Structure formats: C-alpha cells, structure tokens
C-alpha cells in the first residue's frame, strides 16, 4: 500500500503555483490530518499492464498533491491510498481492504477489464462510487453496468468508432480485407466483437482473427500467416506489453501491410520506439494536443516524473479532479450525493477543447477522442513525440453520441 497525503505538499506550493486550480472554493488552510478525505487508487503496477498502471498512479499522486497545495477540498486535506491490482483475484482483495479498512469515499483506477469488473462488484456491494480510468470493455457499460460505476476511459465501441469514422470518411473500409490479432481475454473478445461488426457493417472483409495469449513473446507464426494472407490492413486488438512486442517484431519483417487497431496505449508505443511504429490509430488523449491546459498538465508531469503523461495518466489525473470537483460542488462525500450529481449532467474540464459529462443511463463520460498518425522520425522532437494529431472525433460541432454505443447496442439497465 502507498499513501500520499499533504505532508510536504505545502512545501512544494511554490513549485505547484502554475498548476491549473480546481474550482473547489476552499479556504487557504487544510484542517487536521485526522479529518482527511481518503480516495482509494487501484491499478496494476506490476505484470503485463504494469507500465500503464504506474503512469496512472503517478498522475493520481500529482492531482492529490496539487489539490492539497491549493488548500484541499472543503478545508480538508486529500489522502490517496494506493494498491496494486495485478490480477482480478488480487483486485478483489485490495478493493475490499480500501473499502472496509481504509474507509475511502470512492475508488479510482484500473486497466484490466476483468479486474475492473471484480472491483465494480465490490463497489456496488458497498454502495461506493468507482471511477474506471483504464478498462475498455463494453460489457462494463452494458450487462455489467451498475449505479456506482462511472467510466472516464472510453469503451471499445468508442475506440472502434473513432478510428472507424475517420477510415469510413477516407473510403478505407469498403471492400478492404482485414486481419485481426486479438488479446485472448475479456477485453480482447469484446473489442473484436465491436470492431469486426463495425467493419462488416461498412463493407469490410474479415479474413481471419487469431486469439493471442497475454505476454506472448514470439509473434513470428502470426506474422508469417498474415504475410501469406496479404491483407489490406492488420488490425491490432492487443494490450500492454503485447502491443510493444508485436510492433518490434513486425518491423523486423518489413512487410507492406498497414497497421491500425481497436485500441492504442501510448506508453506501449513509446516502449516500442518510433523506429518500429507505423499506421493510423486513435487515442483518448495525447500530450501533444493543442490545448493550453493539456500542455500545462504535461509540463508539470514531465517536470516531476521525467516523461510526459500518457492516456492512462490523463485518465487517473482527470478522475481525481472529477471526484474532488463533485465533492466541492455538492459539499458532501456520501455516495448518494456523488452519484446524483454526476447523473444530473455536471460538466468537467477534461484538458480538451470541449467539456465532458456522464451519460446518465450507462455512466460513460461523453467526450471527444483523437485520430493520430505515427510521425515521421525526422520531425520528432524527442522519443515521446511519436504522433501527429489528425483530428478530433466527434468534430467540434458534432454530438458526442457519434462515437457512443446506442441504447440498442448497449443492454445496460441501471438498478
């Protein structure tokens, strides 16, 4: 367990003076330590998703430090109690500890969809809000939805429709032949279902889909298979270090088939190196977007951790800010007040050009996403500068619903 609180935070107040202030309306001083508001943070910080989870922990830590340096919330300091959820069984135990022993007011985090489901069940049983910042499965927003589960991370449908909407506009789908590589667990199964459906509905042809075990070390058999199939596109539905491993090995074969996919994790692409990257992808957030608040956050994160924030870091940072803004606006910390406030259309600054809000019937955060293209290495400023941002989807005048699953596609029924 890691606990982050106000100790030493005020000493860093000058360094944090440039931080974007939360609209908390709090007094300048924070009350005594035993009156703290405890937030539970839970992500996998080891294992094949550990890189992303560690980024989430760093960002949540930064958000709490900034809030405490600005005076806390309602005159009370914020304490982050963090746990490593390396697998679903561990996630259950850690969630129970945070809820029952640490008495947190909400849970924030996760990357694995399987672990997120396990955590969500514990949160629902305890009637405690859980802000999912990294799990994509549509099932979490669908048949497994519950009144206490809110999604800052985009769903698989959102990722699929973001890149798919752009590909459709560019006439890249109809008649094109696609080869899929899919992670063989809940996240991947769900992502293949929604992505292959979208392509088929728009005239694409699915040549084959191979299910890949997590932590696969050798992709040569898959690469040789796709070489013989000669697809028009290779569509990746992989996660974590599996994205990194495939990208490195695919480059070694120097094949001409363009890469794209149902999801992209920036930190996994960083690990592969720009020289091994290609293709057009989608991202929930990217540190290179032209938004002054996003740029300011990226500078603060870079100064503290010596690397930029990725999309997972963005999710956990925004998750903490949303929870604290909700407490400040309701002046309450009980679950019922938090849930009701979020369901009634409260809006939040997401470090993007458009503010977001939660859809009341499935609790998905409505927001824009981005189509990104791998950058020419000659134009890259540093090893993290790997993408050109092509466009936001939906566009500035379009409804957020453009990339959302419809109620016909989503079986969520809140109780």
394 prior amide bond cis, ω within 30: yes
Domain ranges (residues) in the chain: 2-154+289-366, 157-283+368-403
pLDDT category at 2 given cuts 50, 70, 90 is low
Residue in the block written with tokens 């360094």: 15
Quote the pLDDT of residue 48: 86
CATH (residue range 157-283+368-403): 3.40.50.2300
What is the DSSP code (8-state) at residue 87?
S
Give the Å distances, CA to CA, from 301 to 165, 260, 381.
32, 28, 18
The H or E element spanning position 42 is strand 37-43
Give the DSSP per-residue string, 285-307: --TTSS-HHHHHHHHHHHHHHSS
Region 218-247 average pLDDT: 97
CA gap 349, 215 in Å, rounded:
36
Give the CA dihedral 299, 112, 49, 311, nearest 10 degrees.
-20
For 352-371, how does the pLDDT look when each residue is reduced to its tens digit (9 = 90+)? Answer: 999 999 999 999 999 999 99
For 201-211, how does the pLDDT look when each residue is reduced to its tens digit (9 = 90+)? Answer: 999 999 999 99
Contacts of 136 (CB under 8 A, 6+ apart): 113, 153, 154, 155, 156, 159, 187, 190, 191, 263
Region 41-61 average pLDDT: 95
The answer to whether residues 370 and 394 touch, using CB atoms and an 8 Å cutoff, is: no
Give the DSSP per-residue string, 200-223: HHTT-EEEEEEEE-TT----HHHH
Give the CA dihedral 402, 404, 407, 408, nearest 10 degrees.
80
Helix, coil or strand: residue 378: helix
Residue in the block written with tokens 């960002």: 59
3-state secondary structure 251-283: HHHCCCCCEEECCCCHHHHHHHCHHHCCCEEEE
Mean pLDDT score of the chain, rounded to an integer? 93
Name the more confident of 30 and 250: 250
Region 234-248 average pLDDT: 96
Q: How many residues does the chain have?
A: 415
Give the Å distances, CA to CA, from 214 to 38, 42, 130, 244.
34, 21, 26, 12
pLDDT category at 4 given cuts 50, 70, 90 is low
Read off the tokens for 208: 């084959």
CATH label, 2-154+289-366, candidates 1.10.10.60, 3.40.47.10, 3.40.50.2300, 1.10.10.10: 3.40.50.2300
Residue 15 has pLDDT above 90, yes or no: no
Contacts of 369 (CB under 8 A, 6+ apart): 154, 158, 159, 162, 282, 283, 284, 392, 393, 403
Quote the pLDDT of residue 137: 94
CA gap 281, 369 in Å, rounded:
11
Q: Do domains 2-154+289-366 and 157-283+368-403 have the same CATH topology?
A: yes
Using alpha carbons only, give the angle 383, 83, 321 rounded to the nearest 5 degrees. Answer: 65
CA gap 218, 233 in Å, rounded:
21
Residue 26 has pLDDT above 70, yes or no: no
Name the more confident of 127 and 1: 127
Quote the pLDDT of residue 186: 87
CA gap 370, 392 in Å, rounded:
4
Helix, coil or strand: residue 4: strand
For 130-152, how does the pLDDT look when each residue is reduced to its tens digit (9 = 90+)? Answer: 999 999 999 999 999 999 999 99
Quote the pLDDT of residue 24: 52
Tell me whether residue 383 is exposed, middle or buried, using C-beta atoms within 10 angstroms of its C-beta: 0 to 12, 13 to 18, 19 or more.
Answer: exposed
Quote the pLDDT of residue 17: 39
- Residue whose C-alpha is closest to residue 163's, from 188, 194, 135, 206: 194
The H or E element spanning position 130 is strand 130-132
């Amino acid at each position: 367990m890691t606990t982050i609180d106000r100790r030493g935070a005020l000493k860093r107040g000058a360094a944090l003076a440039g931080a974007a202030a939360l609209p908390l309306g709090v007094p300048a001083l924070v009350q005594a330590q035993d009156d703290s508001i405890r937030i539970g943070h839970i992500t996998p910080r080891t294992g094949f998703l550990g890189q992303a989870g560690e980024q989430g922990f760093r960002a949540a830590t930064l958000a709490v430090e900034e809030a405490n340096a600005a005076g806390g919330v309602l005159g009370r300091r914020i304490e982050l109690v963090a746990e490593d959820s390396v697998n679903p069984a561990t996630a259950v135990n850690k969630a129970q500890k945070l809820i029952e022993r640490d008495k947190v007011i909400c849970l924030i985090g996760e990357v694995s969809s399987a672990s997120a489901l396990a955590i969500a069940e514990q949160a629902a049983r305890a009637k405690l809000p859980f802000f999912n910042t990294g799990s994509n499965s549509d099932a979490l927003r669908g048949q497994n939805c519950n009144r206490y589960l809110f999604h800052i991370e985009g769903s698989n449908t959102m990722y699929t429709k973001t890149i798919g909407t752009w590909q459709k506009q560019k006439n890249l789908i109809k008649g094109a032949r696609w080869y899929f590589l899919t992670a063989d667990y809940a996240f991947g199964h769900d992502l293949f279902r929604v992505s292959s459906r979208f392509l088929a509905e728009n005239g694409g042809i699915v040549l084959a889909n191979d299910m890949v075990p997590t932590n696969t070390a050798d992709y040569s058999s898959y690469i040789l298979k796709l070489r013989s199939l000669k697809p028009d596109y290779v569509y990746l539905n992989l996660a974590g270090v599996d994205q990194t491993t495939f990208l490195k090995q695919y480059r070694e074969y120097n094949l001409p088939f363009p890469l794209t996919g149902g999801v992209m994790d920036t930190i996994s692409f960083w690990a592969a190196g720009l020289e091994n990257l290609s293709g057009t992808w989608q991202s929930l957030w990217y540190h290179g977007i032209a938004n002054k608040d996003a740029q300011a956050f990226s500078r603060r994160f870079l100064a503290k951790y010596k690397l930029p924030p990725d999309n997972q870091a963005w999710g956990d940072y925004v998750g903490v800010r949303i929870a604290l803004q909700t407490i400040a606006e309701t002046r309450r910390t009980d679950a019922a007040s938090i849930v009701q406030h979020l369901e009634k259309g409260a809006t939040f600054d997401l470090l993007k050009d458009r503010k977001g809000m939660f859809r009341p019937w499935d609790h998905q955060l409505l927001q824009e996403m981005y189509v990104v293209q791998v950058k020419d290495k000659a134009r890259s400023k540093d090893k993290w500068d790997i993408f050109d941002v092509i466009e936001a989807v939906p566009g500035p005048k379009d409804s957020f619903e453009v990339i959302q699953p419809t109620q016909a596609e989503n079986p969520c029924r809140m109780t």
